[in-house]
Each structure stands twice: as structure tokens, then as C-alpha cells.
Structure 1
């Protein structure tokens, strides 16, 4: 029987379509990675806690907030909370 598409049948069209989608996805991902590299932005720089500015008040405020969250969740009791809060405030003076 004579095939008009070079003998590949439907399988050839399917694999060519998949290959084309994968090829263009890789090209687009490469362009995005290149732009991020050239501009100096990455996923790791945008997520996570903000960089420390060197202000001791900001760092101690974050520690106090974490302590208050633990107290609110019931992980520590009132006595433990006040003891640790006093210790934090004495340490960051």
C-alpha cells in the first residue's frame, strides 16, 4: 500500500507534534533562564525572609513575633513566654 506521508502513519504525526511542543517549551524556558541570569533575579532571591538590614530592633522584633506565635498556638505556656521574652529583650539591648 502506498503511504502519502512517507510511511510514518499517524504515529509519526503524533511524535512530531510532541517533539515540537517539547522543543518550544525548552526554547522558552531557556530564554526565561537567560533573562533571569542577566537581570540577576532568581526564585531564591524573591522567596524567604527579607535580608537583614543590620538594625538590632528589627531582628529582636522578629524573634518576639515568633515567640508570640508559639504562645498563641499553645506550644509554650505563659510563664515560659514571659521568661523567654525577658531574655530576648535583655539580650538585644
Structure 2
């Protein structure tokens, strides 16, 4: 015996909305867990070493790798390579 709408009434819409709501809650929970597990922005560095109090963080490994690649490709001469590497690893005091 069918009542009114042939079985395609509010039940299907409510079930679909419930599944969508459940998925949204699960995604929000995963995002919250990932964000809570990350260190604060002040302590994140690109070189993997924590910054020393009162001192600028060191060069990123990516910058040194890029410099090495440019030197290997011949885009930077030896003097420019040495100067730039020295600046990246030992910045001048300001």
C-alpha cells in the first residue's frame, strides 16, 4: 500500500541530506585534526632547523639546491656562486 507519493517523498531527501551532513562533519574533523597537529607558524622553517632566538633563520635547502643547479648549468660563474653561497650561509650582520 502506497501513501501519497509512491515512496519517493521526504524520506529519500532526508536520508540524502543526512549522508551529506555526515560527510561534511567527517571532512571537518579530519581538517581540524591536521591543523591541530601542525606546529605554530612562528616555529615552522623551511630548512628543518629551528630558528635561534634573536637570529634570522638560515637559508632554505631549496635556495642552496637552486644555486647549485644554476652553477652546474653554467648560469652562474664560480665567483658569483661563491659570493651567493657565502651570503646565503653567512648573511651580513645588520
Task: Give the shorter-chain TM-score range.
Answer: 0.3 to 0.5
User: Normalized per residue, which structure has more helix?
Assistant: 1
TM-score by length of 2: 0.45
Higher relative contact order (CA 8 A, sep 6+): 1
